[in-house]
Amino acid sequence: MILTNLPSRRRAKAAACALALLPLTAHAGRPMTVDDAAIVAPGLCQLETYALHDARHNEYWATPACNIGGDWELGIGRSGGGDAHYGRVQAKTVFKPLETGGWGIGLVLADQFRSGRGLEGDVSANVPLSISLAGDSVLVHFNTGLMRTRAQRSTDAIWGVGAEFKLNERNSLTAEVFGQQRNGSRYQLGFAHALIPDRLQVDASWSRRLTARGAGEQAVTLGLILQSN
């Protein structure tokens, strides 16, 4: 999923992480920020946690998410460890499931808000398009959407392009670039390892701003995902 805008001090790391909800699916998820056209299977839930570090902050996120009714994945996330706490609610659905050698498309609706200020926050709508290549050995994801920013009272285009490269049954590499209309763009590299396939994953990512403004804004994340069966 794309995340590129939060109030000023958090802008650098917001783009670096997947925010609160990056679903663990048979395809994308952490450590990617670009979202995929897939949701957790009906009746299943997952818990995603990760720690983020940049030059000025350490932050921790925990996000449970479940498939509700078969068509929607719903999740709620919360951060801790920073100078402010943030929450996130997200609903995701898939119009055409991603299949091996094919393509899929979906919709993600989300609201990220600061604790103590109700649910008024940064509201976004994102359309992920995913393509399977080489028998799922390579998955390519395209994102496009809009974000309404509470602090700036503005609406910006958001976008992203990313790819997952399956090394073997347990390991994969990711590479992506993503951005927001008035906040610049970032690139990110990641690695994921399945301790227990389809159940328990550890991952890490490193990102950096692409534009001259804010050059040197680097961020690192370490994550853990647990999925029910």
Write down all domains in the chain, each with its CATH number in brackets.
Answer: 8-227 (2.40.160.40)
Residue 19, pLDDT above cutoff 50: no
C-beta neighbour count of 153 within 10 angstroms: 7
> Whole-number mean pLDDT of the chain?
85
Tell me the pLDDT tens digit for each residue of 25-71. 333 588 999 999 999 999 999 999 999 998 877 889 999 999 998 99
Query: Which residues 6+ apart lie within 8 Å of 105 measured at CB?
Result: 37, 94, 95, 96, 127, 128, 129, 130
Rounded CA-CA distance 15/154 in Å is: 18
Tell me the pLDDT tens digit for each residue of 156-182. 999 999 999 999 999 999 999 999 998
Phi, psi of 13, rounded to the nearest 5 degrees: -80, -20
Tell me the pLDDT tens digit for each residue of 191-202. 999 999 999 999
Rounded CA-CA distance 118/56 in Å is: 26
Tell me the pLDDT tens digit for each residue of 91-149. 999 999 999 999 999 999 999 988 766 666 899 999 999 999 999 999 999 999 999 98
Integer angstrom CA distances of residue 123 from 112, 119, 128, 132, 146:
7, 10, 16, 29, 8
